[in-house]
Chains A and B, each alone.
Chain A
């Protein structure tokens, strides 16, 4: 089973700043199978990025994803007040089908 590690655990930034979140996999992950989610308190997660770098429908272009192999990055170019939340990476393994999530990175207001 592939284990995902996210860093940092908490990122304290101010609105307007750039956020860089890391997701590292214990084994190589197909870029097609790497996704990022945003979760706000009391809400279900929302898909932001799929295929490592493709934005989901309705996601602002300040969110971008990159990476390959075992190292992936979510970047928020300029933080808006509504972006302070917890972010999870997730990977899909096909044999057998299994979805695993990272432990999350909390982006909070400095």
Chain B
């Protein structure tokens, strides 16, 4: 079955760009009609949807983050990526990737999550 795995630096300096990759295994990222999303969760807090990319490449972003977010897909590597610019301590969170972002929600699979800390 399809599995997702996040990867990227666990520590990012303030004002820099956070870059994460989600590698899809067990299936092709470009087959079927799927959304691929990023969601984050600060420690001990709730969930925040960051954005999604469709199989076609079209994107939607949370308006609260839109000016700083880019989500892209690399079909040759079976990956999709998140870039979040001008980070601050408020961006410290566990970041999840998920095959989802449909009107009915986020079914499995999700990645296990990766902690990104913003600190100098």
Contacts and interface: CB of A to CB of B under 8 A. Distances in A.
A72 interface: no
Contacts of B62: 98-99
Interface residues of A, number: 27
Interface residues of B, number: 21
A99 B101 contact: yes
Contacts of A101: 46-49
Secondary structure type dominating chain B contacts: loop
Contact of A56 (B46, B98, B107, B113): B107
B104 A44 contact: no
Contacts of A90: 47, 105-106
Contacts of B110: 44-46
Interface in A9-60: 32-33, 35, 37, 43-47, 50-51, 56-57
A44 B113 contact: yes
B104 A35 contact: yes
B103 interface: yes
A79 B98 CA distance: 28
A57 B109 CA distance: 12
Which 10 residue pairs of A and B lie closest in terms of their CB atoms, listed nearest first? A35-B105, A44-B110, A99-B49, A50-B104, A101-B47, A97-B60, A47-B107, A103-B46, A50-B105, A92-B103
5 contacts: A44-B96, A44-B110, A98-B49, A98-B63, A99-B62
